């Protein structure tokens, strides 16, 4: 079955364009997904649900869901079996439309997110071989159009900023001496709390991404459905929750969204779209977890999923080892958060402890390395 799945995936030019880091989804020698689950058993329910959904896409399972759009988005076609016992044939299909709407691209992005998540789990666990090298494209990249993408102009500076703002939280409560001038006392307050504000955005971005992973891992999704956060959250959805835990989760999620969302996240009928809330994990998997160290709150931004998919493909997977080492550290901390092994309030201290700061400073001296995400003409 796993060999058949690999064969079907390889028919999709979109899947082949994914800059995967490992061979966990493509190896024809051994079932590396099985090895991954032996290493990370908590992700077994997610993998089972996702493979079930994937079999529906490839026509191996009959379902009441319409798979036509997602197949076209993947640029594949499924030919029905002609005889009893014959398997459906999945073939490449280049003659497909390109004018998909944001919701359809969002669905494709959700599908690719699970592929990338499984790949990243294997990368962090070190249980899979390296994927075939995909060099970055020489074509102009629309990376700069994504919200907060300036954090990748110089990724070493973004990481070093983390060390600059990590401080003892008790410092926020310290008062400046009353003998100081008013302007100095106010400036001291701003100095301390400016760092706290940046810390808060770091923690929110990291925690939103980790919560997304935990939700994918823990939720019992309906049969034949794509595992992801719901498209939107409404009062009716909360009232129809299958159990008290899910209801409490949805209520908390609604409150968080109401706190951070802008007018673009609100939909007809008073509900809230979760497309933006999916953004932090999706951009971390598609581009880099360093993106989560943006000083911007990423969970309320409007993400062009088509552009995100395009940029990811253009960048390729041939990242420098120095960059991959830092990304692996951040992913390890994110998975610790998602697995309940780390308190969100400790996440910055843990990163501060784990990141090799001397190496980052050395990397910052190499222009080609620190500006890897951008072409040279884009560097300011």
pLDDT digits (tens, 9 = 90+) for 11-43: 999 999 999 999 999 998 888 999 999 999 999
| pLDDT in the model for residue 376 | 44
Answer with the residue of higher pLDDT: 3 or 86: 3
pLDDT digits (tens, 9 = 90+) for 168-179: 444 444 555 667
Provide the pLDDT confidence category of residue 233 given band limits of 50, 70 and 90: confident
Provide the Cα torsion 304, 117, 348, 293; round to 10°. -20
| pLDDT in the model for residue 269 | 56
pLDDT digits (tens, 9 = 90+) for 304-342: 999 999 999 999 999 999 999 999 999 999 999 999 999
Cβ atoms 168, 352 nearer than 8 A? no
| Residue 6, burial from CB neighbour count under 10 angstroms (0-12, 13-18, 19+) | middle
pTM: 0.91
Per-residue three-class SS string for 43-76: HHHHHHHHHHHHHHHCCCCCCCCCCHHHHHHCCE
pLDDT at position 263 over 60:
no
Provide the pLDDT confidence category of residue 191 given band limits of 50, 70 and 90: confident
| Residue 56, burial from CB neighbour count under 10 angstroms (0-12, 13-18, 19+) | buried
| pLDDT in the model for residue 262 | 63
| pLDDT in the model for residue 377 | 42
* Residue 148 tokens, joined: 């907060």
- The pLDDT mean for the chain works out to 89
* CA-to-CA separations, 258 to 234, 253, 264, 298, in angstroms, rounded: 12, 9, 12, 15
Distance CA 159, CA 168 (A): 19
49: Cβ contacts below 8 Å, ≥ 6 apart: 220, 221, 225, 227
| pLDDT in the model for residue 17 | 93
pLDDT digits (tens, 9 = 90+) for 40-86: 999 999 999 999 999 999 988 777 678 889 999 999 999 988 777 77
335: Cβ contacts below 8 Å, ≥ 6 apart: 121, 124, 210, 213
């Amino acid at each position: 079955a796993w060999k058949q799945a690999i064969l079907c995936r390889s028919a999709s030019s979109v899947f082949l364009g994914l800059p995967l880091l490992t061979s966990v989804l493509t190896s024809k020698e051994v079932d590396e997904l099985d090895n991954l689950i032996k290493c990370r058993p908590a992700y077994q329910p997610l993998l089972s649900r996702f493979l079930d959904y994937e079999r529906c896409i490839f026509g191996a399972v009959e379902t009441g869901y319409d798979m036509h759009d997602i197949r076209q988005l993947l640029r594949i076609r499924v030919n029905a079996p002609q005889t009893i016992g014959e398997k459906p044939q999945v073939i490449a299909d280049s003659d497909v439309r390109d004018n998909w709407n944001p919701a359809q691209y969002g669905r494709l992005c959700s599908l690719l997110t699970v592929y990338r998540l499984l790949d990243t789990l294997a990368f962090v666990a070190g249980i899979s071989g390296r994927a075939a090298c995909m060099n970055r494209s020489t074509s102009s990249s629309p990376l700069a159009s994504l919200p907060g993408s300036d954090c990748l102009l110089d990724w070493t500076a973004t990481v070093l900023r983390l060390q600059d703002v990590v401080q003892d939280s008790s410092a926020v409560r310290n008062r400046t001496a009353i003998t100081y001038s008013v302007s100095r006392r106010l400036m001291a307050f701003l100095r301390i709390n400016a760092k706290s504000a940046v810390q808060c955005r770091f923690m929110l971005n990291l925690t939103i991404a980790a919560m997304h992973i935990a939700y994918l891992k823990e939720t019992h999704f309906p049969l034949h459905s794509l595992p992801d956060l719901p498209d939107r959250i409404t009062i009716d959805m909360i009232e129809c929750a299958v159990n008290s835990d899910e209801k409490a989760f949805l209520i908390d999620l609604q409150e968080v969204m109401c706190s951070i969302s802008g007018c673009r996240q609100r939909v007809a009928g008073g509900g809230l779209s979760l497309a933006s809330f999916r953004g932090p994990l999706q951009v971390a998997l598609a581009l880099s977890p360093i993106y989560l160290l943006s000083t911007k709150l990423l969970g309320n931004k409007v993400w062009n999923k088509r552009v995100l998919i395009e940029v990811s493909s253009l960048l390729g997977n041939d990242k420098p080892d120095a960059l991959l080492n830092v990304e692996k550290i951040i992913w390890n901390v994110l998975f610790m958060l998602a697995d309940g092994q780390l308190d969100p309030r400790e996440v910055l201290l843990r990163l501060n402890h784990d990141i090799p700061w001397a190496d980052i400073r050395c990397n910052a001296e190499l222009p080609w390395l620190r500006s890897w995400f951008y072409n040279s003409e884009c560097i300011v």
